[in-house]
Structure 1
């Protein structure tokens, strides 16, 4: 626990850190990655260039300062961060490095206001959080390695099948090269794929705004498991991302390599399943469920859906798909087949920009922009105990949160994830 003196200093300086949080985190990444370039292997350069990574860290610092006297509020965030760290192989020895450069960044940005007492207090506050994360991450690593079929670090898998799901999304069926068993995972979790940078055409000249990315370093990528547990394979469904040159010329390097450069029979290095966004099929079977999939956000929700149906085929479920058109609608036939076998599963397909051959009533149910009125109509339900699970891009997730808030849905019944660094999604 922190001393009363330390808490007093943190409380007094928290507003200043909140005001300058993003400047502090930008400076932090500049300092740390320039002096420890080997740490680029833990960061997605596209997220660095776009500013999403620094914004996510800034939000985390503000939340920590706000709740430092009631850390129980932060336990869900601690779990999210710990799972992400374990997916990337973060180790205890990395924490002193992070602490050092975070304090240097605070001093650089706040100037004379960052007195020795202030830096000492924030150093102690940081160490408390670091200790929480190190303890939880040690437990996760132990769980991953000790369960049947589990492993530590990376394991070689073979691409058994490669199946296009739509114009932009392809599924990869992965089996262990050692022919040994696979561990159980929680539906909604992800695995980590490590791709050699030279195979993607990645060049050190494609530098992030915060510094030069060393040749030979490219961070692993997380991809949701899109099938249910208990199979003899892992399935990931990867969207081909287009590079946005004005934001990040390194965007889409790994996804494009998987689509174009990886073929059936090729090998990939895979990390164990991680992630806190999941569903307990036994508990979920007691309540009506609504799933909302925005684009490639379909992937973790499809794993959840198939798992719940396998546990309780009569479970009332509504599955809503929000996508542009049939060209971007992944796993369409798989969903239709599930609904055919399970009458309690009700599909609703919404296309924002239907193609000429997308026929209403056949290919989709509703069309047009995704706005608050549409979401409230789709999300409204008569069952007060309904649980909501949704996943997609951050803009859609904010709209979802606002719509559910407008419907006065208890936040405890709202479960979500979006891809990329976690940022704050406020209840409207």
Structure 2
């Protein structure tokens, strides 16, 4: 920063509407507006558009105004001795330079710049998809942790019921003090898990705020995730893989980069050929001079104009052009390898996400059955404990199984929704 400049104060993140309840679609719209990564990608695309404009400008002539002036004193030798001529003068010219033919240099440069513009445009689109996917993941995780918090609260209530049952049995002489202590221990564990769930939920809401591009302290009301419909899995993974190769913006960006590198190869090869252009100028020179042999001043004004057809051809440059072609070809080969690698990565991501969705769909059905059986087992064990048929250890084990089953059901639904979002992101359709 130079002297006299002032630093720009950092702007605060945008705040969401405190009165609005945001569902997933509304959260994604908010993130597209407020996340600074979208602005960064947009500015990169704008810079690429400007570079394309610069490449196109090389097809047009350039005009420049030049001038120089000052005071001069010239010494001339004569038989009678030196004679001095002095006075002010000014020369101005309007210069025109126009490359008429360069045998493909500018065409290749413009092609490369246009492909770079396409690359940044595709990257801008992919950035939107990345932000949408990040919001989805954090939204599902936040919703799952919110459900976990409710489950932890239910577990505390259940543990309190066990403690009450143990206390009643102890008062009737049907239980030992060890039963009461174990029930209190279970209640303490349930309360500890409740505070852990609250902490995890707070951390995840902060991560969601970062994905949205808002302050973690901003009030944000989220819609219940139960309103989120269950996704439909495509019939064949091959169909999704073909779709990914055709519509993923990052693959299109890699393809545009490859074409830009190929254009650079053509530009490097055209450096072996000459350039033909036009150079012209129009202007004039004028001034006043006075010889030292007399006191009289002479004024003058003369027009100056010219036009030339220029020709330039580098015959030998120390093999610099040869190395330039090799470098351009190597960069094109590198871009081709990166495209192939990115395509393989995309296929692997689609395959994995498809398998994850398929497994999650089966797991969620088993999780529902697990919760139902765990609830029945806990209710039966609690009734058996009250009637003296089960001991406290069996009851606490049934309570832990019920708590774990609830967590499994919550996690399975979150995994299904997250895997579906990952599949849409991998296929480039989100």
Which TM-score band applies after superposition, normalised by the shorter structure? under 0.3
* Higher fraction of helix: 2
Higher relative contact order (CA 8 A, sep 6+): 2
Larger radius of gyration: 2
TM-score for the superposition, normalised by structure 1: 0.20
